[in-house]
Copies of this chain bind each other. A is one copy, B any other.
Amino acid sequence: MEFVKGNTVSPKGFLAGGAQVGIKKGKEDMALIISKVPANAAGVFTTNVVKAAPVLWDIKNIENKISGIVANSGNANACTGEKGLKDAEDTAEKLAKNIGVNKENILVCSTGVIGVNLPMDAVLSGVDKVYALVGDSFEKGENAAKAIMTTDTVKKTVCIKENIGGKEITLAGMAKGSGMINPNMATMLCFITTDAAISRKLLDRALKEAVLDTFNMICVDGDMSTNDTVLVLANGCAENKEITEEDADYEAFKATLFAVMKDLAVKCAKDGEGATKLIEAKALGVKNKEEARKIALSVVSSNLLKAAIFGEDANWGRALCAMGYSGADFDPMKVTIVFKSEKGEITLMDEGVPIVFDEDKAATILSADKINIDMYLNQGESEATAWGCDLTYEYVKINGDYRS
């Protein structure tokens, strides 16, 4: 497995592009991804009862062969009534006509403000405009990654090569995260392309397994969006023998997909709205995997802990408190808590006993950009990791006047 420079156009047979089409002011706001060959697709979608119109469209069509994806930022097409559903369908149809396929072979994703209907003139002319611009150069893939950003401060892309069945296959992805990111993926969009040949069934299985320890283990603010979507397209252009069984090729594919998704998920957590620090919380020695996930996620989701990390305050009691309300059952008297960073590490609680610690040393450790919180439960063999960010003035500022 090798991380290389690249983006969604790096796997064979994919085109992409992005441009400003007038959905939001002064910024790129539409991206297209096209597979020259109809691709197998799989998706994971928000579990929110309130699902945006494009999510409903994609759920209906995800089992079809897919030729393209239209993604826009600036407007989520969520809470938009019957008109929103029609708008998502019309958007798909517009790209379908350009490519020469049916609308059911097109997926649609939106992110941005909720409760306002899409400006369909801009969207439909935009699809034509961006379709005229798509290509397979590195720059085209970057344009697409830029066009899905909302309050993100950096583009998020990754590309990995791996040998599978004697062929070099490539997996690449782009994501947008920022606010509202939560377990079960809140306004997070992620698009993954690969030239691997893999059956739809196994593609779907690999995606759903990988999401559990990647996108479902990040939290920015605990809000779960109406629009969260992870899509993967596999077009088979690498010409490996199609993966149809859970054999060694499948395991290699799944590990590579996991690496792509973990890379993008951590980038989303790190670039949470207003964030200055990445928090990586690891629960170890837990009695089972599910409880380990609950504990790790609860800690990176705690406003109090997040604010303390922003303040560079070693308030480990807030970590233990968040472990306690995670829903996991454990004995706090056995817990050891360690805070660490590139600047050192410090044990704050040792098997249930609070340790009097050197505040200066703790402050130095917490001055780093990435803070690790290791929680040793000492009551089992399972572990899990979650990622989040600190809670800052800037988060409040961004979300106090997002629509304006």
Contact = CB atoms under 8 A, between A and B. Distances in A.
B392 A321 contact: no
Interface of A: 47-51, 76, 78-82, 113-117, 179-180, 182, 184, 186, 221-226, 301-304, 307-308, 310-311, 313, 315-318, 320-326, 328-330, 332-333, 348-349, 352-354, 391-393, 395-404
Contact of A223 (B182, B184, B304, B329): B304
Contact of A403 (B47, B313, B326): B313
Contacts of A326: 49
26 contacts: A49-B328, A50-B325, A51-B324, A79-B317, A79-B321, A81-B352, A81-B354, A82-B352, A113-B315, A115-B354, A180-B304, A182-B325, A221-B304, A223-B303, A223-B322, A224-B325, A226-B324, A310-B396, A311-B400, A313-B400, A313-B403, A315-B403, A391-B396, A391-B399, A392-B396, A393-B396
Contact of A399 (B50, B221, B311): B311
- Per DSSP, are chain A's interface residues mostly helix, strand or loop, or mixed? loop
Nearest to A321: B226
Q: Which 9 A-B pairs have the closest CB atoms?
A: A114-B317, A311-B400, A50-B324, A307-B399, A115-B317, A48-B324, A224-B325, A49-B324, A221-B303
Contacts of A186: 325
Contacts of A352: 81-82
Contacts of A397: 393
